[in-house]
């Protein structure tokens, strides 16, 4: 029945008629099968199972990859705290069979026409919709930093890159490690700080105090605060206690890989022996090319309804969420999860026609790690949460917080992706 999704033609209408008559089903099209897209698809599939069976509702999800990769776990990979197997899952295992899941070139979005309600993919196929959900996330933009690709080590972009960095960290004995974040926004802005604390603990307690004494850790941060005030307060305290140097408001000009130096906008040159970079990020090119994104490739939305409010007009039937949108104060997986529940509920309300709207209140979370589990430390963490108008309260990382945080990555597939909580 996928013919229903292709551009109508006389032959297709005839086929459809011969297959049992023309049914006017409501079509929900979801772009991106990450956390947000999968959660919306699964929640709708659960709610509209009868309507799907009767052909009254169709839910389709598109993605170029058929494997879901849990990016939030990359930070832990260099220290062996999660394995690649922990962080990957075939998408067909976590998306309800009631959802038409399309992967590969047929699922890779190339252009979006909001006026015509049409999405075209890499294979040339096109999909029409009644409701569109954009949840494609964002992508690293390494080339935007002059010289960075000549010495690019990171835990941010893939499991392979995180494993490669793990090998470097395991053998690094002496010198200066610079952890560089050139600019905001980035997904999961708490991750650079978390990584740095874990790196310190790894060098100090796993590799040994002697190694840590011979390693200087420098944290270059592009803005004044590391997260909201309460987060910044605890991060600053922990960094100071662990002898990690912070340079705030660092504006990067280029990476000089030949001389192993990071060059600031004011000409300041900072030497490094190992450079670990969190690359700048941008939205998906297809959206910029389609003219529906704002600068940086982000999809603009109303901060409460998550409906599209952008350069080509306002479209109430189009929702965007997660890292690729302007929703939320910062881009976090926990925020995307909250947003997905709101988008799904509003679609449920729309399809039922009950006239009720629910709003995203800016709920998001950014876990803080104070220590990892080592022979000398028990592991400490806290999942800091706040909302648009309710600031983060002061907190202290705890061992229970660490255990809950560790567990979260294992149960993610069966809870968040399936919109069970």
Partner 1 sequence: MTGEMKEKETIPVELDQSELDALVEVLNTVKFLRDFLNDQMVHDIAEVMSVVFKLINTVASTDLIDVLERGLQDPNLDKALLNPPKVSTWGLIKAMKDEDVQKGMGIMIELLKAIGRASTD
In the numeric block, the tokens 């890159």 are attached to: 161
Q: Which of 19, 210, 316, 414 binds partner 1 (CB under 8 A)?
A: 414
Query: 215 - beta bridge partners?
Result: 175
State which of residues 16, 232, 253, 288 lies at the interface with partner 1 (CB under 8 A). Answer: 232
* Helices of type H across 251-398: 285-289, 333-352
Q: Which stretch binds partner 1 (CB under 8 A): 184-192, 281-289, 314-322, 408-416?
A: 408-416
Asked if 399 touches partner 1 (CB under 8 A), the answer is yes
- Angstrom distance (rounded) from CA 248 to CA 385: 23
Of residues 270, 327, 337, 267, the one with CA closest to residue 303 = 327
Confirm or reject binding of residue 230 to partner 1 (CB under 8 A): yes
Cα–Cα distance, 133 to 344 (Å, whole number): 9
How big is the chain, counted in residues? Answer: 421
Binding segment for partner 1 among 12-20, 253-261, 355-363, 405-413 (CB under 8 A)? 405-413
Handedness of CA 116, 117, 121, 124 (dihedral sign): negative
CB of 188 vs partner 1, minimal distance in Å: 20
Residues in region 12-51 near partner 1 by CB under 8 A:
45-46, 49-50
Question: Would you give the DSSP letter of residue 331?
Answer: B
From the list 84, 228, 264, 300, which residue makes contact with partner 1 (rule: CB under 8 A)? 228
Unique residue bearing structure tokens 């589990």: 373
Q: Compute the distance between CA of residue 180 and CA of residue 252 in angstroms, rounded to an integer.
A: 9
Residues facing 382 on adjacent strands: 368
Does the protein bind partner 1 through residue 57 (CB under 8 A)? no
Instruction: Select 18 or 421, whichever has its Cβ closest to partner 1.
Output: 421
Is residue 373 near partner 1 by the rule CB under 8 A? yes
Nearer to partner 1 (CB atom), residue 69 or residue 230: 230
For residue 407, the minimal CB distance to partner 1 (Å) is 5
Q: Is 1 in the site for partner 1 (CB under 8 A)?
A: no
Judged by CB under 8 A, does residue 158 bind partner 1? no
Determine, following the binding rule CB under 8 A, whether residue 413 of this chain makes contact with partner 1.
yes
- Chain centre to alpha carbon of residue 258: 33
User: What minimum distance in Å lies between the beta carbon of 91 and partner 1?
Assistant: 12
Nearer to partner 1, 283 or 379 (CB): 379
Query: Which residues from 205-224 bind partner 1, rule CB under 8 A?
Result: 224
Alpha-carbon span 110 to 164, nearest angstrom? 31
Q: Does 375 bind partner 1 (CB under 8 A)?
A: no
Is residue 258 within 8 A of residue 419, CB to CB? The reply is: no
């Amino acid at each position: 029945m996928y013919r229903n999704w292709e551009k109508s033609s006389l032959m297709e209408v005839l086929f459809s008629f011969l297959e049992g008559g023309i049914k006017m089903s409501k079509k929900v099209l979801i772009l991106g099968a990450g956390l947000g897209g999968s959660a919306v698809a699964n929640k709708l599939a659960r709610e509209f199972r009868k309507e799907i069976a009767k052909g009254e509702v169709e839910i389709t999800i598109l993605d170029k990859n058929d494997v879901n990769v849990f990016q939030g776990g990359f930070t832990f990979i260099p220290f062996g705290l999660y394995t690649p197997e922990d962080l990957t899952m075939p998408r067909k295992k976590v998306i309800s069979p009631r959802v038409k899941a399309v992967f590969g070139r047929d699922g890779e979005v190339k252009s979006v026409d909001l006026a015509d309600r049409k999405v075209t993919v890499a294979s040339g196929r096109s999909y029409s919709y009644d409701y569109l959900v954009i949840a494609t996330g964002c992508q690293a933009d390494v080339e935007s930093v002059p010289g960075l690709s000549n010495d690019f080590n990171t835990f941010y972009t893939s499991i392979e890159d995180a494993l490669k960095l793990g090998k470097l960290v395991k053998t690094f004995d002496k010198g200066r490690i610079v952890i560089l974040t050139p600019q905001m926004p980035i997904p999961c802005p708490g991750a650079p700080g978390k990584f740095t604390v874990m790196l310190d603990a790894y060098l100090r307690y796993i590799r040994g105090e002697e190694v840590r004494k011979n390693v200087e850790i420098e944290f270059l941060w592009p803005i004044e605060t590391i997260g909201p005030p309460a987060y910044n307060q605890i991060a600053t305290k922990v960094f100071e206690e662990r002898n990690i140097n912070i340079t705030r408001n660092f504006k990067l000009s280029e990476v000089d890989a030949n001389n192993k130096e990071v060059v600031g906008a004011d000409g300041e040159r900072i030497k490094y022996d190992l450079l670990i970079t969190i690359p700048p990020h941008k939205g998906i090119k297809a959206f910029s090319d389609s003219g529906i994104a704002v600068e940086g490739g982000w999809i603009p939305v109303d901060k409460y309804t998550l409906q599209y409010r952008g350069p080509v007009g306002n479209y109430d039937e189009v929702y965007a969420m997660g890292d690729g949108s302007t929703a939320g104060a910062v881009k976090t997986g926990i925020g995307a999860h909250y947003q997905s529940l709101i988008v799904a509920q509003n679609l449920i309300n729309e399809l039922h026609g009950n006239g009720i709207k629910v709003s995203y209140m800016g709920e998001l979370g950014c876990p803080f790690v104070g220590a990892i589990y080592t022979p000398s430390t028990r592991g400490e963490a806290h999942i800091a949460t706040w909302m648009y108008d309710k600031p983060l309260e002061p907190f202290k990382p705890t061992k229970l917080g660490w255990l809950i945080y560790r567990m979260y990555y294992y149960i993610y597939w069966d809870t968040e992706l399936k919109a069970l909580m």
